[in-house]
Amino acid sequence: MLFGSGKRKLADEDGLVCNLCSLHHRNLHDRGEHKEELQKLAQETWMNHYGKTVDDFITRYGKSYL
């Protein structure tokens, strides 16, 4: 759910993936449909799963989506 600037590899390592059909995948990347919602969900999921803070997320991913 996080992509660009090397974030995809980190997201894959952390299990932050979302399986999409080709139509929705295109809409996400080309139009940004639901992009903000998915990024926020990814960050919240990561912080809850690992017991980390917003600052920890920023250290790993370079920014906060909240």
Residue pLDDT tens, the chain, 66 long:
677 778 889 999 999 988 889 999 888 888 888 889 999 999 999 999 999 999 999 999 999 999
**Distance, CA of 26 to CA of 13 (rounded, Å):** 23
**Distance, CA of 13 to CA of 11 (rounded, Å):** 5
Looking only at Cα atoms, what is the longest distance across the chain? Answer: 34
Name which of 31, 22, 29 is nearest 2 in CA terms: 29
3 state SS of 42: helix
Extents of the domains making up the chain: 7-61
Q: Tell me, what's the pLDDT at 1?
A: 62
Q: Tell me, what's the pLDDT at 7?
A: 86
